[in-house]
Structure 1
Amino acid sequence: MIISKFYYLRKNLYSMAELVLEQVIMLGDALENDDYALANEIVDRDDMIDELEKENDNLSQIAILEAITNRNILGMGDVDNEIVLKKDPLRFALSAIRITRNMERMGDQVVNCAEVFRYKTIRPGIFKKEEPMGLILSRVTTLAGMAVESLVEEKERFMGSVNTIEDELNGLCDEAFKKYRESEMNKTEFADVYRIILALERLGDYAVNVAEELVRLNTGKDIRHLENAKPPKV
């Protein structure tokens, strides 16, 4: 019974991740091609992500209870720490809750962008012809792809690259904000461009959260906020 629960949890988690990545790719296409019908489709598809989130939450809670009561049956009491880290169903179920939350928030940011874009207040071509907006879309898609691939493989191998791309994304978002703040955009257009920039930056942050959770799942190390914890240089 417990094996089937974890099978369905993994299956749903992967389905949710792939659906979120599809939404990110569709968003890039909608923005770059000024495709407002596609933006509407992105918004409509968000219900599928929400349903998977609910299913994953329920499956995770059931899996946690079953893992606690069946740890000895699964042999988790007599194995070395490395196997426990990578094979412990309780650890996976707890991580699945955190990953599900971050995936759902990634989906929310995609929808936030699509909803703003379909107002048609932003001039055509800005996301395809102007830098740094095109670069921002590229970095966001790459981060989402790395997070999903790492999740499906249950590995943390992209972590270094993820941090590098996140830094690039943050710099590009700052650059874009300054560029359009100093441009001749009217207030409504600038406000909507800024909302999209902010949502894309947050989308990248949630993708990084998924990658960080995979490090914790595979190694037991919590690497969040490590830079802030470093002592100041003298």
Structure 2
Amino acid sequence: MAELVLEQVIMLGEALENDDYDLANRIVERDDRIDDLEKENDNLSQNAILEAITNRNILGMGNVDNDIVLKKDPLRFALSAIRITRNMERMGDQVVNCAEVFRYKTIRKTLFKKEEPMTLILARVTTLAGMAIESLVEEKERFMGSVNTIEEELNGLCDQAFKKYRDAQDMDKVEFADLYRIILAMERLGDYAVNIAEELVRLNTGKDIRHLGNEIQSPTSVSYAVDRSG
């Protein structure tokens, strides 16, 4: 599922950069496969939760200090698997949202290939998705600090793009509305990539950092981020 989501992101970049509407159609058509995998993974995770509840009772974990339980609780993996799966599915949804709007052909050609900040937004989204999926495959939170930095840059670029095209004299309301929908979807896609990275920290360390503020840390430590999953 992770590899399929990353493929969708890469395909989206190619479709937008090359004004390839047929590829955008393929992206939309492939989304059903991601939805099916999300359901399969969700069922597996729910079964794992039931098994974990039995195991933690056998281990007598109800009588152990909460901090220790958090790091050794068999429920942790199953719960993280559900959260990661849902965030990946939502990443896929945002890719499809972009592709569906792009298929309307209301946005001028070459915009995503030649005009900043849209070219930069597309590059940052692809990088964020790649980092999240690679970390997931490796089962490590190695990119957490970089993910936060790039996501902050992405948010700034999205705000810059909104202001630029809102004030563009040669852009009509329909084109701006569709472009803005893509900008919002790109920003949300980055948020879900961060959520996956945050969940990997919880999975590997037992520390829930989703609701903590950003903190300055050493290069070898994990950066904290605010969850935006809603």
Structures share a fold, TM > 0.5?
yes
SS at match of 1:119: coil
**Distance in 2 (alpha carbons) for counterparts of 1:154 and 1:89:** 17
* RMSD after superposition: 2.5
**Distance in 2 (alpha carbons) for counterparts of 1:205 and 1:179:** 22
Length, aligned pairs only: 213
Q: Which structure 2 residue ranges, 5 or more long, are not aligned?
A: 216-225
- From 108, 121, 128, the equivalent of 2:93 is 108
Going from structure 1 to structure 2, the CA distance change for 1:148 and 1:76 (only over 3 Å counts) comes to: farther
Give the equivalent residue in structure 2 for 1:67: 52
Q: Compute the displacement of 1:212 (Å).
A: 0.5
TM-score where L is the length of structure 2: 0.85
Give the equivalent residue in structure 1 for 2:138: 153
**Distance in 2 (alpha carbons) for counterparts of 1:224 and 1:151:** 17
- From 208, 212, 223, the equivalent of 2:198 is 212
Question: Which runs of structure 2 are paired with 1:10-159 in the superposition (5 Å)?
Answer: 16-71=1-56, 89-159=74-144
Going from structure 1 to structure 2, the CA distance change for 1:17 and 1:85 (only over 3 Å counts) comes to: farther
Going from structure 1 to structure 2, the CA distance change for 1:87 and 1:34 (only over 3 Å counts) comes to: farther
1:191 matched to 2:184: no
Q: Compute the displacement of 1:53 (Å).
A: 0.7
Residues 169-214 of structure 1, C-alpha deviations (whole Å, 9 max, x = no match): 0010011111100102000000000000000000000000000111
**Distance in 1 (alpha carbons) for counterparts of 2:122 and 2:90:** 17
1:222 matched to 2:208: yes
1:200 matched to 2:186: yes
Single out whichever of 218-227 and 162-171 deviates more from structure 2.
Answer: 218-227
Going from structure 1 to structure 2, the CA distance change for 1:228 and 1:142 (only over 3 Å counts) comes to: closer
Q: Compute the displacement of 1:127 (Å).
A: 0.2
**Distance in 1 (alpha carbons) for counterparts of 2:214 and 2:115:** 34
**Distance in 2 (alpha carbons) for counterparts of 1:68 and 1:132:** 49
Q: Compute the displacement of 1:76 (Å).
A: 8.6
Going from structure 1 to structure 2, the CA distance change for 1:151 and 1:76 (only over 3 Å counts) comes to: farther
Aligned partner letter, 1:100: T
TM-score where L is the length of structure 1: 0.84
Aligned partner letter, 1:192: D
Q: Compute the displacement of 1:225 (Å).
A: 3.2
Contact 1:64–1:90 (CA under 8 A) maintained in structure 2: yes
- From 150, 154, 157, the equivalent of 1:169 is 154
Contact 2:45–2:81 (CA under 8 A) maintained in structure 1: yes
**Distance in 1 (alpha carbons) for counterparts of 2:70 and 2:7:** 30
Greater share of helix residues, 1 or 2?
Answer: 1
**Distance in 1 (alpha carbons) for counterparts of 2:208 and 2:58:** 28
Aligned partner letter, 2:125: V
Aligned partner letter, 1:124: K
**Distance in 1 (alpha carbons) for counterparts of 2:23 and 2:72:** 41
| Seq. identity, % | 87
**Distance in 1 (alpha carbons) for counterparts of 2:87 and 2:185:** 14
Q: Compute the displacement of 1:90 (Å).
A: 2.3
